[in-house]
Amino acid sequence: MCGLSKEKTTRVTVDADKLRSEIRDKSVKVLDIRKEEDYKQGHIPDAINLPLASLLADDSPDKVLQYAQSFGISDETPVVVYDDTFGALASRIAWTLEYIGHEDVSLLDVTYSTWKKLGLEVNSQTPNLVKTNHSLKLKPQILATADYLVPAKEKGAILVDNRERLNYLEQHIPGAINIPYRMLASGQNILRPKEDLRRMIQNRNIRPDSEIITYCGSVGTLSGLGYYALKSLGMQNVKLYVRSFKEWKSLEKPIEQQKDANYWDLSAE
């Protein structure tokens, strides 16, 4: 594996069998990122509901810390996150936990729909939660801000836009390269096997030790998945521009586009 760090290595994804045994052992906290009404219809046993919208309403570190503590997540508790949106929403939550200093957080490698299709157990009971303590150790090294981007780029950081190709062609942050989120998944899994992802990164001449900043359209979901795809390869210097292109535009920063081509008219949508 390229670029193994000295830090404690965390698993980026967890497969269904592993998660089931951890749920049986009660050695894991599972977060379900879907809407409350979907959660109530049924969820993975013992999963706690944290709809993405609730988190986005206030994702300040203090608020996130409160959530973690109220869910009974301590510094050492392994957390596994899932959604039904190809892992993008789960990635955003996982990143947020990582940002406040929670190290052991992973993504379930399939979505809830696939979990059900596999015939695995679901129920609609809400687990009892016991409050616990969690420390706050912010990890600014995984966060990128608008002000950070330009100087970082000048120093060689690679800016990765995880939106779909047509959106990227229409407008993107100057100098960004495009790795559409659809490239990251394979078949039933939210992330491709490592050897596939590594080949795609190598095809782009990206070195394992490069600094990479991912962004997407508005709140860092698609780029959250991009962030974890790169992390799964052992790349350590990856950041998420969490406020993404929406903020960039609102700040009226420069924008690049593929001009003089009517590519939207090729879409059969």
Partner 1 sequence: MSNTSVSQSKPDNAPKHKVNWGRLEEAERFSELVKLYRQGKLHPDDFRRFRLQHGAYGSRMSDDYSMIRLKLPAGEVYSEQLEKIADLSEQFSIGSAHVSTRQNFQLHWVALEDVSEVLRGLAESGMTTREACGNSVRSIMCSPLAGVCPDEVFDPTPYAVAATKFLLRNPLCQSLPRKFKINFTCCEKHGMARMVDIGLIPQQGEVNGKLQKGFKVFLGGGLGAQSFVGHQLEQFTSEDQLLYTIVAVIRIFDRLGNRDNMARARMRYLVNEMGWEKFQNLVLKERAMIKMLLSVLVKLEVDKTEEPMRKISINSEMPSVPQGYSRWVKSNTFKQKQPGFSCVFLTLESGDVTSTQLRAIAEMAREFTADGQIRNGFTQDMVFRWVRNEDLPRVYSKLLEVGLANPGALTMASVVGCSGTTSCNLALTNSHRLAKEVQRKFIELKIDEDDDLRNSTIKISGCPNSCGQHEIATIGFYGGGGRLGKDMYPLYTMSLGGRSDEDTTLGHTCTKVPAKRVIQTILKIVEIFKSDKKQGETLDLWMRRVIQGNGGPNVKSIDDIKELLKPVVAAPTKDTDGDFYADYGSDGSYHTKTGRGECAA
Q: Which structure tokens are listed for 260? A: 């003089």
* Distance in Å, CB of 83 to partner 1, minimum: 15
Q: Is the dihedral of CA 89, 235, 162, 17 positive or negative?
A: negative
Q: Which of 91, 214, 221, 232 binds partner 1 (CB under 8 A)?
A: 232
Name all contacts of 201-209 with Cβ < 8 Å and 24+ positions apart: 201/230, 201/233, 204/177, 204/179, 206/158, 208/2, 208/3, 208/233, 208/234, 208/235, 209/2, 209/3, 209/235, 209/236, 209/237
Residues 103-122 that bind partner 1 (CB under 8 A): 109-110, 114, 117-118
Number of residues that bind partner 1 (CB under 8 A): 43
- Residue among 15 and 121 whose Cβ is closer to partner 1: 15
The residue within the footprint of partner 1, chosen from 194, 246, 249, 253 (CB under 8 A), is 194
Judged by CB under 8 A, does residue 24 bind partner 1?
A: no
Report CA 81 to chain centroid distance, whole Å: 10
Specify the stretch interacting with partner 1 by CB under 8 A; choose among 38-46, 57-65, 152-160, 200-208.
200-208
Tell me the one-letter amino acid at 22.
E
With binding defined as CB under 8 A, does residue 12 bind partner 1? yes
Residue span binding partner 1 (CB under 8 A) among the ranges 25-33, 39-47, 244-252, 257-265: 257-265
Residue found under tokens 């990890």: 139
> Which bin fits 151, alpha (ψ -120 to 50), beta or left (φ > 0)?
alpha
Decide: 80 and 107 in contact? Cβ < 8 Å: yes
Judged by CB under 8 A, which of 2, 5, 17, 21 binds partner 1?
17
**Binding positions for partner 1, rule: CB under 8 A:** 11-13, 15-18, 109-110, 114, 117-118, 164-166, 169, 178, 180, 182-183, 187-189, 193-194, 199-200, 203-205, 232, 258-269
